Amino acid sequence: MVKRTKRKQHSLPNTSAEGPSRLQILLRSSAFVLYALVSIAALGAAVWSQYYLRTTSSSQNISTSPLWEIVDIPGKGKGMVARRNITQGTLLLRETPLFLVPPTVRQSPEQLIIALVSQLPLEKQQVFDALSHHARPDAVGDALPLAKFETNSMNAGESVGIFPTIARINHGCSSAFNAAYSWREDTKETVVYAFKPIFQGEEILISYTDTKKSRDNRRAYLKQSYNFDCTCSVCSLSPELSKASDARLERMAALREKLATWANKSIGGQEATSVINEIWRLGDEEQYLSERGALAYDAAQVAAAHWDRVAAQAWAELAHKWFAIELGVNSVQAKAALRIAQNPRSHRDWGSRYKMEVERPIAGL
């Protein structure tokens, strides 16, 4: 099974370069706009493809590590399973892409992917050929490489890449997924961190999409986009428990939409941070722990804008903690949060709104 996460945009303007809640590029056949528009018109296809292959030539495909192994999962194909207990915040994997594709190019998508794959070393061509093509299971001939790309491609900054090891990690909804991936622009690689403790023998799961929605809506989207029926632990809940989970997730989504209105001054700082605390409480109940660094960073921004140094510092410290867990202590986001925690007045939005005290993080965070 394979995935490409398409997360919602961060609720509020953010100084961090990229976070776990950033909208990720999803190139499906209906939106796979590799045909026209602008982009690299000045570069010939051959020159461009050589460049992207050359800059990603260090990609490794591995099937085991001291932490995990790729195994057959009944009903799912391949999957990644923990070989030992893994603590929260552990780096599971870092991987450079086999090749990268920008969001728009001029030539035929089928021919572009064929050309890129053909220029890989033979062993890496075999790695690509071994990937599944669930998104378009009937694809054959020249359409097959594109089908594999559409099924397995994932965001890599402004481009989209193939990461064959990460492509083996299956999907989980809401509280079911326990790991998150993010692109590192400085090292040109994608990293995967465990943001929950993972026990020996437990499957490592990421989210292919924003799952803060009802089970029926999640399943419908995953079936349409990835051609599989989700049977994760959340989608397998009893009707009564699923109804309660759906209510929490839909409430979290609605609150995030409300939070976004702080940007246009529809709500004030006190209400915005109250909303963030409520999202946090619902996340505790649902055990939806992803995106907490971004959520706390939003709160730090609100507090800084309203001149509340104490709250800005507290929220930034919390953001640093969760960014370090989910994205790594050396991530751009964790470093940005730490700078604000050390000096709240350094936030670019400091004092941009009227002065007021906002809510601090709820107790026990």
Question: Does the pLDDT of residue 46 top 50, yes or no?
Answer: no
Lowest mean pLDDT among 168-177, 220-229, 263-272, 282-291: 220-229
Give the residue, 258 or 102, on which the prediction is more confident: 258
The residue ranking higher by pLDDT, 25 or 288, is: 288
CB 112 within 8 A of CB 105: yes
Per the document, the length of the chain is 365
pLDDT of residue 104: 83
Residue type, 42: A
Residue type, 111: Q
As a whole number of angstroms, the distance between CA 42 and CA 61 comes to 33
Please choose, from the candidates 317, 290, 332, the residue with its C-alpha nearest in 3D space to the C-alpha of residue 196: 290
Predicted confidence at residue 365, as pLDDT, reads: 53
- What is the predicted pLDDT for the residue at 211? 94
* pLDDT score, position 363: 56
Note the pLDDT tens digit of each residue in 302-334. 999 999 999 999 999 999 999 999 999 999 999
pLDDT of residue 78: 92
- Where would I find the H helices in the chain? 45-54, 109-118, 122-129, 143-152, 215-226, 239-260, 269-286, 292-305, 309-326, 332-342
| pLDDT band (50, 70, 90) for residue 93 | very high
Compare 3 and 219 and report the one with higher pLDDT.
Answer: 219
Residues 6+ apart with CB under 8 A from 297: 14, 16, 19, 315, 316, 319, 323, 333, 336, 337, 340
Q: Where are the domains of the chain?
A: 29-226, 239-346
Report DSSP state, residue 62: -
Rounded Cα–Cα distance for residues 292 and 350 (Å): 22
pLDDT at 23 over 70: no
pLDDT surpasses 60 at 215: yes
Specify the pLDDT at position 314.
97
Retrieve residue 358's tokens: 């906002």
Tokens linked to 63: 């099937």
CATH superfamily of domain region 29-226: SET domain (2.170.270.10)
Alpha-carbon separation of residue 6 from 3, 46, 181, 209, 235 (angstroms): 9, 30, 12, 5, 19
Instruction: Report the share of the chain in percent with pLDDT over 70.
Output: 82
d(CA 2, CA 332): 27
Cα 11 to Cα 260: distance, rounded to the nearest angstrom: 5
Q: Does the pLDDT value for residue 57 go beyond 70?
A: no
Q: For residues 41 and 58, give the distance between their C-alpha atoms in angstroms, rounded to a whole number.
A: 27
Q: What is the per-residue pLDDT for 230?
A: 96
Collapsed DSSP state (helix, strand, coil) of residue 319 = helix
Q: How, if at all, do strands 100-101 and 159-162 pair?
A: antiparallel
Give the chain's mean pLDDT: 85
Q: How many helices (DSSP H) and strands (DSSP E) are in the chain?
A: 10, 10
At 203 the pLDDT is 98
DSSP state of 167: G
- CA-CA distance, 222 to 203, in Å (whole number)? 19
What is the mean predicted confidence (pLDDT) over 37-65?
Answer: 45
Give me the mean pLDDT over the 67-84 stretch.
Answer: 94
| pLDDT of 44 over the 70 cut | no
At residue 134, the pLDDT reads 83
**pLDDT of res. 31:** 35
Any idea which of 32-46, 221-235, 304-318 has the lowest mean pLDDT?
A: 32-46
Q: Reply yes or no on whether the pLDDT at 283 is more than 70.
A: yes
* Strand partners of residue 80: 70, 204
- Per-residue pLDDT tens for 101-142? 987 888 899 999 999 999 999 999 999 999 998 878 899 999
> Which residues does 314 contact at the CB level (< 8 Å), separation at least 6?
303, 360, 361
Q: What pLDDT, in 10s, does the model give residues 151-199?
A: 999 999 999 999 999 999 999 999 999 999 999 999 999 999 999 999 9
Q: Residue 1: is its pLDDT beyond 50?
A: no
In this structure, the number of other CB atoms found within 10 A of the CB of residue 21 comes to 22
What average pLDDT does this structure show over 79-83? 97
